[in-house]
Amino acid sequence: MEPFIKHTGLVAPMDRANVDTDQIIPKQFLKRIERTGYGQFLFNDWRFKEDGSLNPEFELNKTRYKGASILAAGPNFGSGSSREHAPWALMDYGFRCIIASSFADIFYNNCFQNGILPIIAPNNIVTEIINKSRSDNAYRLNVDLKNLKVWDEDEDIVFRFKLDEFRRNSLINGLDDIGITMQHENDILDFERTRHKHGGVLTN
Whether the CA torsion 5, 11, 16, 21 is positive or negative: it is negative
**Do both 39 and 117 map to the same domain?**
yes
Q: What is the pTM of this model?
A: 0.86
* Residue 104 is assigned to a structural domain of this protein: yes
Judge contact between 9 and 141, C-beta under 8 A. Answer: yes
* Residue 193 is assigned to a structural domain of this protein: yes
Parallel/antiparallel/unpaired status of strands 97-100 and 117-120:
parallel
**Do both 196 and 131 map to the same domain?**
no
* Residue 1 is assigned to a structural domain of this protein: no
**Do both 122 and 183 map to the same domain?**
no
Summarised one tens digit per residue, pLDDT across range 173-193 is 998 655 455 453 454 445 555
Using CB atoms within 10 Å of the CB of residue 22, give its burial: 0 to 12 exposed, 13 to 18 middle, 19+ buried.
Answer: middle
CA distance 112 to 88: 11
Summarised one tens digit per residue, pLDDT across range 156-166 is 999 999 999 99
Summarised one tens digit per residue, pLDDT across range 77-123 is 999 999 999 999 999 999 999 999 999 999 999 999 999 999 999 99
